[in-house]
Amino acid sequence: MRIPASADKMNQHPHRLFVSSIRAWLGFVSLVSTTLLVCLLASATNVTAQQQGWIATGALGTARSGHTATLMANGKVLVVGGFIHCNPGCSTTGSAELYDPGAGIWSYTGNLNTARGHHTATLLPDGKVLVAGGSSNSNDGLNSAEVYDPATETWSYTGNLNAAGDSTATLLTNGKILVAGGGSNGNSAELYDPGTGTWRSTGNLNTPRGGHTATLLPNGKVLVVGSPGYGVNSAELYDPATETWSITGNLNTGRWYAHTATLLPNGKVLVAAGSIGGDDVLESAELYDPITGIWTDTGDLNIDRGFHTATVLPSGKVLVAGGFDYFYDSLDSAELYDPATGSWRVNGRLNTARSGHTATLLANGKVLVAAGDSGGSTTTSAELFDSGDAPVLVVEYHNAALDHYFITWVLAEQAFLDAAHTPTPWVRTGSTFNTYTTAQGDTSPVCRFYIPPAEGDSHFFGRGTVECNGTGQRHPEFVLEDPQFMHMFLPVAGTCPANTAPLYRVFSNRPDANHRYMTDRAIRAQMVARGWVMEGDGPDLVVMCAPQ
C-alpha cells in the first residue's frame, strides 16, 4: 500500500505537547497558545500511568477482611460481610455494599440477617446471590444461608446447610451449587437447589479438608486442592453426573491453605503459593492437566505469599496481588503469570498492602481489589488494576474549521478536546473503534508521528514497524511521539482475522494532509465521494483490523 508524501503531513491538529520522554499527551495540541501549553505540561503525566497499573478508587464504608465480592449482572460488585477486626477476638459484620464502576463509589445495600465472615457467595443463574456458611463473632461455624435479591436489595433466609463452617461453593453446569469440605465435618459435601431453596447431601470427599480450593473444570467436574494436616498434597475430583469423588494426581508440593487455584483459558489449573503450615509460606506454583490428571511444576513466583488473590485477565495472564509473607506481614506487591512462558514478573505495587482481600474482574477488563487486612488492621481502601489488556475505545473528533479528523484513546486528550480548550472546536463524530494499548498475541504496533508546523502541523498513525520505520526514514523531520501508541491486527491479503473488524483509511489528497479512519464502509464511501483517496490492502482496501 502506498504512503503519499502528503499523507505524512496531516493537519494543524492537537499538536506536540511535550518531549518524547513523556508519553502522556503524545504531542497533543497545536491549537492552544504557548502559555497554555506550559500550564498543561506542568500537569501532564504519563499515559501509561494514567491508563495502566494500580489506581485508587472510592473507599468502602466499612473496613473488612474475609469478606466476599461478587460481580453482579448489572456490572456492579456486591461486597458482603467479613471480619471488621480480630484483635483481640474477631468481630463479624452483616453489612453489604455495592461498587459502581462507572462512578467509582460504594453505597450500602441491605444487611445480612446473620453477620458472618469466611462464608461463600455465589451468583445464581437468576441474578440473585447465595451466601452460605462461614463463621460468627465467636468463630463458631454457621449453617445458615441467605439469598440477596438485587431488585429489592434485601436478604432472605433460605434452607440451612447440613454441616456448618467454612467451605467452598461452586456453581455447577446444572445450576446447582456444590458446597464441599471445611467446618465441623471436613469430608462432607452437599448440593443446593435454587429452585427449591433446599440442601441435600452428596458423596463425601475421600479426605477431610479445610482451607482448600475448588475449581470448576471445562468438563463439568470440580477439582479440590489442599488439606491442612490431612493428605497434604492430595487432590480429588467431584463428578456431578455420579455425585462421587475420585482421587486424582498428587501435587508436587503440599499446600495446606492460603493458596489460589485458577482455571486458565487452556483448561489447565494454576495453583500458586500458599502455606504448608506453621510459618512456611510458598513461592512455588504448578499446573494441573485435567486430561492426564498430572501436576507439573511451573515458574516460581518472585515473592512467597499466602492469602493473596489470583485473577485471569482478558489476555489470559494471571494477576496475583497482595497476601502475607513469611512474617505474616501484608504485601503490596503484584505479579503477572504468563501461561505461554510459564514465568512470573513483578507488576507494580498496590497503593495499600493487604491480605484477605478480594479481587474481581470487572466488565471493563479492570480488576477491583477491595478491603482486606493491612498492617494488622482492616482497611476500607479499594483500588483498580488496569493491565491494558482489555480493548479500549478510540474516539474520533472533527474540526469543522480545518475539516480535519483526529483519533485518540487517551482519556486526557479526550477530556482536553471535550472541554473546548482550542481556538476552534473539536467535536466527537460518534465514530469509534476498539484498540489495545499493549501488545496482544499477533497484534502489530501502531506508531504516532507529529508533523511540525512547517510540514503540516498534524499527526500520522503508521501501522506496523515497516510503515513506521519507512515514514521515519523518509521524513526525519517528523517527531515519533510513540512507536506503540496502540496495537492492532494487520490483515492478510486484505482479510482480517476472526473476532476483528476491518478498519479503513482514507487520505484527504490536499496540501493540508489529513487521514480518516473508520470501520463503516458507508462513511468511507461518503469520503471518497468528496475526493478522499482510499488506502489499504486487498480488494476491499483494509488497512488494519480492530478487536471486537
Banded pLDDT at 30 (limits 50, 70, 90): very low
Mean pLDDT value across residues 337-355: 94
Q: Which runs of consecutive H residues, i.e. helices, occur in 475-543? A: 521-529
| Residue 27 confidence (pLDDT) above 60 | no
Residue 348 burial (CB count, 10 A) = 16
Q: Residue 497: is the preceding peptide bond cis (ω within 30°)?
A: no
In this structure, of 4-18, 191-205, 271-285, 374-388, the range with the lowest mean pLDDT score is 4-18
* 425-479 tens-digit pLDDT: 999 999 999 999 888 878 999 999 987 777 767 788 999 999 999 999 998 998 9
Closest CA to 68 of 134, 136, 141: 134
| pLDDT at residue number 43 | 30
- Identify whether the C-beta of residue 285 lies closer than 8 Å to the C-beta of residue 272: yes
The H-or-E segment that residue 148 falls in is strand 145-149
- Intra-chain end-to-end CA distance of the chain, in Å: 24
| Beta bridge partners of residue 238, listed in sequence order | 222, 245
Banded pLDDT at 6 (limits 50, 70, 90): very low
In this structure, of 13-22, 211-220, 348-357, 437-446, the range with the lowest mean pLDDT score is 13-22
* 470-525 tens-digit pLDDT: 999 998 998 998 899 999 999 999 999 999 999 999 999 888 888 999 999 999 99
Apex 266 CA angle, 265 and 268, nearest 5? 100
Task: Tell me if residue 174 falls in helix, strand or coil.
Answer: coil
| pLDDT at residue number 55 | 92
| pLDDT at residue number 85 | 75
Banded pLDDT at 143 (limits 50, 70, 90): very high
> How far lies 89's CA from each of 138, 157, 184, 185, 211, in Å?
8, 27, 20, 24, 20
- Identify whether the C-beta of residue 351 lies closer than 8 Å to the C-beta of residue 337: no
What DSSP character marks residue 511?
Answer: S
Closest CA to 222 of 260, 275, 270, 168: 168
Quote the mean pLDDT of the chain. 87
Apex 241 CA angle, 236 and 246, nearest 5? 20
Q: Which runs of consecutive H residues, i.e. helices, occur in 87-126? A: none
Mean pLDDT value across residues 184-206: 93
Mean pLDDT value across residues 399-425: 88
The position carrying cell 482519556 is: 411
Mean pLDDT value across residues 346-353: 93
d(CA 204, CA 221): 15
| pLDDT at residue number 453 | 74
Residue 361 burial (CB count, 10 A) = 18
Could you tell me the CATH superfamily of domain 63-309? Kelch-type beta propeller (2.120.10.80)
| pLDDT at residue number 460 | 86
Banded pLDDT at 280 (limits 50, 70, 90): confident
* 269-277 and 260-263 beta bridge pairing: antiparallel
Mean pLDDT value across residues 319-342: 94
C-alpha grid cell, residue 188: 462432607
SS (H, E, C) 354-403: EECCEEEECCCCCEEEECCEECCEECCCEEEEECCCCCEEEEEEEECCCC
- Identify whether the C-beta of residue 231 lies closer than 8 Å to the C-beta of residue 203: no
For residues 184 and 9, the model is more confident at 184
Task: Region of 118 please: left (phi>0), alpha (psi -120 to 50) or beta.
Answer: left
Residue 26 contacts by C-beta under 8 Å, 6 or more apart in sequence?
A: 17, 47, 410, 413, 448, 450, 481, 482, 485
> How far lies 160's CA from each of 126, 146, 211, 229, 283, in Å?
20, 9, 21, 28, 38
C-alpha grid cell, residue 376: 494488622
The position carrying cell 500511568 is: 49
d(CA 237, CA 321): 27
Closest CA to 247 of 211, 285, 203: 203
* 85-96 tens-digit pLDDT: 766 677 999 999
For the chain, domain boundaries: 5-51+390-547, 63-309
| pLDDT at residue number 10 | 30
* 110-133 tens-digit pLDDT: 999 999 999 999 999 999 999 999
CA atoms within a 13 Å half-sphere pointing along the CA-CB vector of 351: 18
d(CA 318, CA 152): 35
DSSP 254-318: ---BS-EEEE-TTS-EEEEEEEEETTEEEEEEEEEETTTTEEEEEPPPSS--BS-EEEE-TTS-E
Banded pLDDT at 228 (limits 50, 70, 90): low
| Residue 101 confidence (pLDDT) above 50 | yes
Closest CA to 377 of 53, 9, 25, 63: 63
162, 164, 167, 171 alpha-carbon torsion, rounded to 10° = 40
pTM above 0.85, yes or no: no
Task: Tell me if residue 131 falls in helix, strand or coil.
Answer: strand
